[in-house]
Structure 1
Amino acid sequence: MTGSTQWIKRIKQLAALTASVAMMFAVAPASAIGAEGLPAALKRTVKVFGAGGLRGLESYSTGFLVSPEGHIVTIWNHVLDVEPITVVLDDGRKYEADIVGTEPKLDLAVIKLRADSERFDHFDLENVPSAGVGDRIFALSNMYKVAVGDEPVSVMSGVVSAVTSLEGRRGGFEIPFEGDVFLFDAITNNPGAGGGIVITRSGKPLGMIGREIRNADSNTWVNYAIPLRDLKTPIEQILSGTYERIETRPDDVAGDQLEPADFGLVMLPDVVYRTPAYVGSVIPDSLVATAGIERGDLVVFIGDELVQSIRDLKSALAAVEESDDVRLIVRRGDELITVEVTAPEKSE
């Protein structure tokens, strides 16, 4: 057996051991880890599968049931860029699901199982608790795709280490949520964990695990969750069909933010709320022209950010800072093409 083969075998053994430990911890009796409501919480947490597989973009994430009809709260990300979405419950039951509503500025999405005649156990968001520094929590998520069938999701134990605003970045992009978040001493910042649920020791829903991000100042990974107290009203309004997405007011936009034209992109007219981000033309000798972007290309990702409309495109580019490395993924016919450019200085 060659040296490289031995290393591959050892890595696989270590990965299997890690997954086994995570699963054993997830299914441990509630009394063993001090959470009375943990078994019920595990049944209400689901595995979400959808788009991904491109350059480190995982095709899986996590969600949690919030209604008896099968509504699920999850994180708004690229995994949802497919129709239909696949959801697997704790007991292995598999359903197709559709997007009901989203709020990108809160990293929030609500999807619904295609199961109109069934009823599901779910988290009650009527009385969402608060938490402070030192409070014990449990974080439930499908990190690293440990659970794919009838396995429960993984559980991590920790404490709230801070309740504060978050200066975080995902690649070259700032996270959209502007309120205070819960910071933990548990490592919740894992692939697939986004959209997972953080609960109190008694099993009450406390927060939604956010996307993988780094601290903008220290460049270290951040373990955090968005408080459900900030998501409760938008979730209820999405369920009732009365929600109106948050708009960016003109006075919220700084004059030094980058725009599509700064990269050489001229988009089609933004005539409806979700006009697809098709490239109308490319400015000759511009950054994107040199990189190979062509007229008619559909921009689907900027970095790891899903682009569902021209508004999304403008918002993502506005969050880019000068000299950031920016990755664009465009669809050209049936082909996905990736290009990378360096953000320019904002023209005066």
Structure 2
Amino acid sequence: MKKIGLTLLTAFVGGAMALGAYKVIESKYSDNMSFEDKQKVYFTSNKSTPIVSSTGSLDFTEAAAAVTPAVVYIRTTYSNESQGNSKQDRFEQMFGDMFGQSPGARAPQMASGSGVIISNDGYIVTNNHVVEKADKITVATNDHRQFEAKVIGTDPNTDLALIKINATDLPIVKLGNSDEVRVGEWVLAVGNPFNLTSTVTAGIVSAKGRNINIIGNDDNGDDSNPFGRTSNQNRRKANKAIESFIQTDAAINPGNSGGALVNTKGELVGINAAIASHTGSYEGYGFAIPVNLAKKVLNDIKKYGNVKRGFVGVSFVELNPDAAQKLGISNTVGLYVDSLVEGGGAAAAGLKKGDIINKVEGTTVYESSDLQERVGRLQPGDKINLTVLRDGKEKNFAVTLKADATPATNRTAAVSKSAEELFNKLGASFQPLTPAQKSKFHVNSGVFVTQVREGRMFDSLEIPVGSIITSINKLPINSVTDIDKVITNLRNGNLVVSGYYPDGTNFNNRFQIQ
């Protein structure tokens, strides 16, 4: 009997020690894990009843119940300067007294959108156009708690942004696999249209790989341009856009931007971003960014502060009967290689002008998005297999993606007295210095500027991407946490930012927080 008791006690103690060790290891390595790996740990250690596909009975209650708690309402505030080019501003400048205020004395503008919690320690994915140029970002969770959020980083090329709130043990939406999404399957859109929080709509996937040319083009509100954002803000778009939208007829409207598109298992397959509409409201189709593309973008932003993007190094013409006729060729499907970047991956692999890219990783290429979305998931140095038609015969090439020679410098922001707002007002993203960078600049502390967002402090101070920040207000800076501590304890709103430009020239720049 004593032996049995001793055995049970030993087993209990051993189990407790193993669990404790696991928790220590989990805590230590959590910050370096991808969002997908963190979710695997979360869903492994938090067993719940699996959600069964409801396609057969058209009962979406289980999926809706699983997703709704992790979709948040995002409210953004914009200064008058940020809104200076919008149609609404021009209207109010002419007719401000109709709104109880005189022209030139307008209150800050506000907008709203949605976001999806993807990590239980407060990371939220939304659209870039939801938070771009915002002076203040407020997140309201489904259980009616409110937090101020800071922008970790943005990617205008995919219209994605990663923001963070200071919270723990949050509900999350499970990341799915957008490659497995099939045309005709049921999906749910969850978001906050027209400020109506926690709204769920259902529809089917109408198409995949849609390129609607909205990223990189201005929303002009014209009837000739039926594609619009699903927030109530017009935005400047980025170049080098990657569009491969999932098209759905689930009803989405202004305010749904950044919300979840999920399958009937409650898995996130897309981030809602745009609608096809002549009126600005739902007219039949919505468009979502595939989650497999979002995973890469968000993990890069969290790890590096910006997106490490590889490039094939070709310009091409998307083939159709009209394009083929102009080029004098018979092929009407694929991408006609118009030119190659000197020293680029495609040129190094042996592609030539006049080749027709007809497969990527063995899958037929019908549109430019078929290639761009696959490349958009990869890093510089990764290989991608392309099949081309040359002289009527197929040839296979393994192309090593090269880094962009002229990386984009993005921008965004915030304004008030909280750490989150002031961090956003800096308008930059950072990562710790590597030993090599410390050696190059001969410093013992510092952070590397990975992103600068337009119209904010770092942009005004002309501190570019690639700079090193060694101190703020004479306090050493080694991490984002150090920056938070400094800006939380500002005196008179003065900031003195010290460091080195990319060429090694040192600087001491002053800025007054308004």
**Stretch deviating more after TM superposition (69-78 or 179-188):** 179-188
Match of 1:44 in 2: 70
Structure 2 letter corresponding to 1:146: L
Q: 1:186 aligns with which of 250, 256, 264?
A: 250
Match of 2:150 in 1: 98
Match of 1:114 in 2: 166
Matches within 5 A, 1:161-310: 161-169=206-214, 171-172=219-220, 177-188=241-252, 190-212=253-275, 222-241=285-304, 243-244=306-307, 273=409, 308=454
Contact 2:250 2:285 in 1 (8 A): no
Residue 155 (structure 1) aligned with residue 196 (structure 2): no
Go from structure 1 to structure 2 and tell me whether the alpha carbon gap of 1:144 and 1:245 turns closer, same or farther (over 3 Å shift): farther
Structure 2 letter corresponding to 1:154: T
Cα distance between partner residues in 2 of 1:143 and 1:275: 26
Cα distance between partner residues in 2 of 1:185 and 1:174: 25
Structure 2 letter corresponding to 1:50: T
Contact 1:168 1:213 in 2 (8 A): no
Contact 2:213 2:243 in 1 (8 A): no
Structure 2 letter corresponding to 1:75: N
Contact 1:58 1:191 in 2 (8 A): no
Higher Rg of the two aligned structures: 2
Cα distance between partner residues in 2 of 1:50 and 1:89: 15
Cα distance between partner residues in 2 of 1:251 and 1:73: 31
Cα distance between partner residues in 2 of 1:273 and 1:46: 28
Structure 1 letter corresponding to 2:219: G
What is the Cα deviation at residue 211 of structure 1?
3.4
Match of 2:468 in 1: none
Per-residue CA shift, 1:210-240, capped at 9, x if unaligned?
Answer: 135559xxxx774111110111111122223
Go from structure 1 to structure 2 and tell me whether the alpha carbon gap of 1:275 and 1:186 turns closer, same or farther (over 3 Å shift): closer
TM-score, scaled relative to structure 1: 0.55
Go from structure 1 to structure 2 and tell me whether the alpha carbon gap of 1:34 and 1:251 turns closer, same or farther (over 3 Å shift): closer
Go from structure 1 to structure 2 and tell me whether the alpha carbon gap of 1:249 and 1:174 turns closer, same or farther (over 3 Å shift): farther
Q: In structure 1, the residue corresponding to 2:77 is in which secondary structure?
A: coil
**Stretch deviating more after TM superposition (87-96 or 52-61):** 52-61
Match of 2:60 in 1: 34
* Structure with greater proportional helix content: 2
What is the Cα deviation at residue 122 of structure 1?
1.0
Q: 2:121 aligns with which of 52, 61, 69?
A: 69
Structure 1 letter corresponding to 2:260: I
What is the Cα deviation at residue 81 of structure 1?
2.5
Go from structure 1 to structure 2 and tell me whether the alpha carbon gap of 1:174 and 1:222 turns closer, same or farther (over 3 Å shift): farther
Go from structure 1 to structure 2 and tell me whether the alpha carbon gap of 1:244 and 1:104 turns closer, same or farther (over 3 Å shift): same
Match of 1:81 in 2: 133
Structure 1 letter corresponding to 2:63: G
Per-residue CA shift, 1:80-136, capped at 9, x if unaligned?
Answer: 423441000001000111000110000000000023xx2211123375662111100
Residue 139 (structure 1) aligned with residue 189 (structure 2): yes
Aligned structure 1 segments of 4 or more residues deviating by more than 6 angstroms: 173-176, 247-252
Go from structure 1 to structure 2 and tell me whether the alpha carbon gap of 1:32 and 1:183 turns closer, same or farther (over 3 Å shift): closer
Contact 2:187 2:250 in 1 (8 A): no
Match of 1:285 in 2: none
Go from structure 1 to structure 2 and tell me whether the alpha carbon gap of 1:126 and 1:33 turns closer, same or farther (over 3 Å shift): closer
Q: In structure 2, the residue corresponding to 1:235 is in which secondary structure?
A: helix
Cα distance between partner residues in 2 of 1:45 and 1:161: 23
TM-score, scaled relative to structure 2: 0.38
Structure 1 letter corresponding to 2:175: L
Cα distance between partner residues in 2 of 1:45 and 1:274: 26
Structure 2 letter corresponding to 1:171: D
Cα distance between partner residues in 1 of 2:306 and 2:145: 30
Go from structure 1 to structure 2 and tell me whether the alpha carbon gap of 1:251 and 1:200 turns closer, same or farther (over 3 Å shift): closer
Structure 1 letter corresponding to 2:70: R
Match of 1:60 in 2: 112
Q: In structure 2, the residue corresponding to 1:106 is in which secondary structure?
A: coil
Contact 1:103 1:246 in 2 (8 A): no
Cα distance between partner residues in 2 of 1:193 and 1:308: 25
Contact 2:121 2:166 in 1 (8 A): no
How many pairs does the alignment contain? 224
Structure 2 letter corresponding to 1:121: P
Cα distance between partner residues in 2 of 1:275 and 1:106: 14
**Stretch deviating more after TM superposition (191-200 or 220-229):** 220-229
Question: Could you list the runs of 5+ residues in structure 2 that have no partner in the other structure?
Answer: 1-53, 89-108, 221-235, 316-407, 413-452, 460-514
Contact 1:165 1:178 in 2 (8 A): no
Instruction: Report the aligned-residue RMSD.
Output: 3.8
Contact 1:58 1:79 in 2 (8 A): no
Cα distance between partner residues in 2 of 1:251 and 1:309: 33
Larger RCO (alpha carbons 8 Å, 6+ apart): 1
Cα distance between partner residues in 1 of 2:411 and 2:243: 29
Question: Could you list the runs of 5+ residues in structure 1 that have no partner in the other structure?
Answer: 1-29, 148-152, 253-271, 277-306, 313-348
Structure 1 letter corresponding to 2:251: I
